[in-house]
Amino acid sequence: MALFTRTAPVAVPESWTPEGTLVSQRYRALEGATVLVYTADADRSTAYYAAACLGCTHRTDRNASGNVMTEAEAAQAANAHAAVCRAVPRGIPARPDDTEAAKMIRTRLWARRYVTAPHQLRLSDFTGLRVDLQRSTDWIKAVLNDIAKADPSFLAAAPASSGGGTRFTVQPFGRP
């Protein structure tokens, strides 16, 4: 009877949208891998974009000057990558469990500690990581709150000056 059973629909990279993102464009690499142009800033007037290849490890959320990308810049980066990438389609990346996703956030924050001044954290700091995280903005904020409560010498939390929300600051390592 297996001949007549239906399998559950499987998401394909050509139409997949990671949780917490809005995919605006898709490009096909030379061997068929999908390259996404996406944002996580659906509720902002100025959205920041990133590009991610689902066939290889290519991720970019900054332009050549080191600034966050507009949609046009992310599309240009995605198109340039798709023109040279020979990765075959690997399917959709596995969604990490909550512990692994929280570890990914902590690792991203840890890299910000190697400076001499505190780093004001923005949600756009996680745009490039969204395809791998596959989590909503609210989930990321909850993890940031947990880290700030557990280790305030690492991540400081304070009420935002605008009156709503919380402002997070990564504290640098103590310098002698």
Hey, what domains does the chain have and what are their CATH numbers? 22-84 (no CATH), 98-170 (1.10.10)
Residue 47 · residue 53 · CB < 8 Å = no
- DSSP secondary-structure letter at 64? T
| Token pair listed for 91 | 């399917």
pLDDT at residue 7, as a whole number: 57
CA pair distance 108, 119, nearest whole angstrom = 12
| 35-76: pLDDT as tens digits | 999 998 666 667 899 999 999 999 999 999 999 999 999 999
52, β-bridge pairs: 36, 59
Does position 12 have pLDDT exceeding 80, yes or no? Answer: no
| 66-102: pLDDT as tens digits | 999 999 999 999 999 999 999 999 888 899 999 999 9
